[in-house]
Structure 1
Amino acid sequence: MRVRKIVTHVEEVLTEGGRPVDPAARVAVVAAVIENPWAGEGFVDDLNPGIDGTASPLGELLAPRVVEALNADVEAYGKAAIVGLSGEVEHGSALIHTLKFGDHFRRAAEASTLLPAVEKRGPAGIVFDIPMKHKTDATVRSHHQTVEIRIADAPHADEIVVALAASAQGRPQQRLADLSTER
C-alpha cells in the first residue's frame, strides 16, 4: 500500500436552527490518499491480491486515527472510496466492502452494524458526502446523517481516496419520532 497523504477533518456544530447545541455536535473524518493497487493494469478479473495487500492495512491505519480525531465515543459511523478517473468504482468498492477493512473500524468504535458507504469515481477536488448511521442500530433515525468532504488535490487519476467518518452524536437538534412509532 502506497499512501501519498492523510487528511484529517474535524467539525463542531455550535448552533443549529438558531439554537445552541450543547455539547457541540462533533464529527471527524480521516482520509488516506493511496495509489490504486490496480492502476495501469487494464481490466483485472481477480481483485483479491490487491484486496489482500491493501484493505486490512488501510483499515488498521484509518480506524484508530478517526476515533482519536473525534476525541469522544463514536455513536455513528460511515466510510467512502473515491476512485480517480483512470480507475473503476469497483476498485474502491473492493477495498471498503470487505471485513478485512471494516472490522478495524467496528472494533475501534465498538460497533456492530454495517458501515454505510459511498463510492464513486471522480477528478481531484471532487466533493463527496459520507453517510453515517448509528453504530449498533441502523434504524435509529437521529444518527442518519452525512458529512461533506473535499480534498483539493485528490484523487489523482491513478489514486483512491478512502475515508472513515465518525460522529459523537446524532444530528444536531434532531426531532424525528422513533421509527417504531410508524405503522
Structure 2
Amino acid sequence: MSPIRRVVTSCEELSLELGAAVHTPVRRGAVAVAVRNPWAGRGVVADLRPEAEKLAPVLAREIADRLTAVLGGADAIASFGKAALVGLDGEAEHGDALIHTPYFGNVLRELLHGTSIIAFSEERAVAGTTATVPVWHKTEAATRSHYSATQIRVPDGPRPDELVITAAAATGPRPNARIGDRSTDPAVTLETLEGTR
C-alpha cells in the first residue's frame, strides 16, 4: 500500500510579462505529496536513516514521474528544487531526513537528468500552508537566469503527524531574464564598492 495520502500537482505557463509576449513561454510545475510522518509521536529518534531509506526513494520516484508527465519529460526540464513542510507533531529534522539525503536527492536528480545540488526550503507548518519552492538550473547552478520559485499547497496538509514533500521544476529561465550570470560577473568586494554610496 502506498504511504502517500494525497497528491497535489500544479502546472502553469507564462506567456505574457507586463503585457508583452515573452520570448519563449516557460512552464513551471510542482508536485506535493502528503505522507504520515514516520517519526511523529516517537520523541527524539536518534537514527532517522532506516525510515528515510525506505520512504524517500518512493516519494522521489512518485514526484519525478508526475513532474516529468506535466512538463513534457525529463529532458524538457531545465531547473529544479525541493521542499518539506513538517506538521507540528514533528521536527524540522524529519523533513530534512527525507529531502536532504541521497535516498531522495540523488534519486530525484537522476530521474530529472540533473547534476546540480537541488535548491531547497523547509519549515514546520500547519495544514494548508503554501510551500515556496526555490529552483535553479539542474546542471549549471550558477546560471542566474533560472533562479526562481514556485508555490504549491495541500489544502489539508500537513496534518500534525504528516509531512508534505514537494519538488518543483521549470522548462526554462525567468521570463525576459537579463541580469547576467554568476560565472561572468565582475569581481565585487566592499573595497571595489567604495565611493559608490
Asked if these proteins are the same fold (TM beyond 0.5), I'd say yes
Partner of 1:182: 186
Q: What is the aligned residue count?
A: 183
Partner of 2:4: 3
1:168, 1:82 → 2: CA distance? 24
- Determine if contact 2:30/2:151 at 8 Å carries over to the other structure: no
- Determine if contact 2:95/2:163 at 8 Å carries over to the other structure: yes
Matches within 5 A, 1:51-70: 51-70=52-71
When structure 1 is superposed on structure 2, of 61-70 and 29-38 the one drifting more is 61-70
Residue 149, structure 1, aligned to residue 134, structure 2:
no
Give CA-to-partner distance per residue, 1:89-126, whole Å, 9 cap, x none.
10000000011111222122211000011110010011
- The percentage of counterpart residues that share the same residue type is 39
Please state how far the C-alpha of 1:22 moved relative to its aligned partner: 4.3
- Determine if contact 2:29/2:71 at 8 Å carries over to the other structure: yes
- Determine if contact 1:64/1:105 at 8 Å carries over to the other structure: no
2:22, 2:104 → 1: CA distance? 33
Runs of 4+ aligned structure 1 residues displaced above 4 Å come to none
Partner of 2:126: 123
What is the one-letter code of the residue matched to 1:105? L
Residue 82, structure 1, aligned to residue 85, structure 2:
yes
Partner of 2:114: 111
Which ranges in structure 2 are unaligned for 5 or more consecutive residues?
A: 188-197
2:131, 2:150 → 1: CA distance? 8
- Determine if contact 2:23/2:175 at 8 Å carries over to the other structure: no
Name the Cα RMSD after superposition. Answer: 1.3
Residue 168, structure 1, aligned to residue 171, structure 2:
yes
Give the structure-1-normalised TM-score: 0.95
Give secondary structure in 1 for the equivalent of 2:54: helix
Please state how far the C-alpha of 1:53 moved relative to its aligned partner: 1.7
Give secondary structure in 2 for the equivalent of 1:162: strand
Please state how far the C-alpha of 1:128 moved relative to its aligned partner: 2.1
When structure 1 is superposed on structure 2, of 113-122 and 65-74 the one drifting more is 65-74
Q: 1:40 to 1:182 in 2, by over 3 A?
A: same
Greater C-alpha radius of gyration: 2
1:151, 1:57 → 2: CA distance? 19
What is the one-letter code of the residue matched to 1:45? A
When structure 1 is superposed on structure 2, of 173-182 and 110-119 the one drifting more is 173-182
- Determine if contact 2:92/2:122 at 8 Å carries over to the other structure: yes
Give the structure-2-normalised TM-score: 0.89
2:56, 2:185 → 1: CA distance? 39
What is the one-letter code of the residue matched to 1:171? R
1:43, 1:15 → 2: CA distance? 49
